[in-house]
Amino acid sequence: MTLRKLGSTGLSIGPLGLGSVNFSWLTDEPHSFAILDAAFERGVNLLDTSDNYNAGQSEALIGRWFAQGNGRREKTVLATKVYSAPMEWGSPDPVKRSGSWVGPNQKGLSAKHIREACEASLKRLNTDYIDLYQMHHVDRGTRWEEIWQAMEVLVAQGKVLYVGSSNFAGWHIAQANESARRRDFLGLASEQSVYNLMKRTVELEVLPACAAYGMAFLPYSPLAAGALGGAPKGNDKGRRAYVQKGEAVVAFEALCETLGRAPADVALAWLAHRPGVTAPIVGPRTLEQFEANLAAVEQPLEPDTLAELDRIFPGPGGPAPEAYAW
């Protein structure tokens, strides 16, 4: 498996990241462990999670997997996120978290919440450090100076090695990195954003910003929440719903049929080999899906196929500002 660097850092990761959003929810613990073991054995070392996935239970499951030893923690590049307090799964009450009342400081990127959230994640994950601590969203109510001061403390304590962002705009990436530069701090090592054939907005400013600052780009939702996964087989109702997603997905499925490849595999192969992409994050529910994901990223598409995909799903026209200014 070909390794690549996490941006301009010295950290090496594989060409695929394993997302854990389904662990302890749609995928039970034994099957989650099977997927984690398969990734471990195949060299997929980037494991992505968040403190608010399934009320913190995804982190706790990963912690139990680490507890089995055999180098699981040491060989894993562990990435988690901070912003939202873990929600009580299924609770309709937006202020209920894990069965307890949450005050105004148990969310966002205040120094207080970053410190408390990191300690809670470390406990659930059964580890004493996080390789990549990602800000899950932008906090427009907290100054970058406060955010970086809190992150610097965690780095100095050895609890965090690298800091990343998620769902940031290009302007936010520039703000964050320029603020870090003034503090002689490393700044953002990576950005994680939605990117797929149907959602290509990041090509305008986010991807160029990542390139300019030497950051890794870790796209998630490669199948556009299932829209690029192909119509359900043997399910007329499901097929009709799929067709209603638009002419583009129908044309996409027809192209995949001519290629003899599953739509999910084509969508992931396209994303894995896009300029600026470091490693797509996939969230398989089954071991079979994970094996298919891994095979897909190792099979690049032909130039004529790439051209047809651009015709079906045209992008924004290139990086900004050339895409809209002249």
Domains and CATH numbers, the chain: 4-225+262-312 (3.20.20.100)
% of residues, the chain, pLDDT over 90: 85
- pLDDT value at residue 1: 73
List 53, 83, 195, 242, catalytic entry: 53
| Segments of the chain with pLDDT less than 50 | 88-99
DSSP state letters, 30-59: HHHHHHHHHHHHHT--EEE--TTGGGGHHH
Tokens 């799929």 sit at which residue? 242
Q: What is this structure's pTM? A: 0.92
φ, ψ (nearest 5 deg) of residue 12: -105, 135
CA nearest neighbour of 323 among 155, 206, 234: 206
Is 53 marked active-site? Answer: yes
- pLDDT value at residue 235: 61
- pLDDT value at residue 6: 98
User: 31 is written with which tokens?
Assistant: 């099957």
- pLDDT value at residue 237: 62
φ, ψ (nearest 5 deg) of residue 284: -65, 145
CA distance linking residue 267 with residue 285, whole number of Å: 17
CA distance linking residue 229 with residue 285, whole number of Å: 13
Taking 3-state DSSP, the helix, strand and coil percentages for the chain, each rounded to the nearest 5, stand at: 40, 15, 45
- pLDDT value at residue 208: 97
* Angle (nearest 5°) at CA 133 between 130 and 136: 145
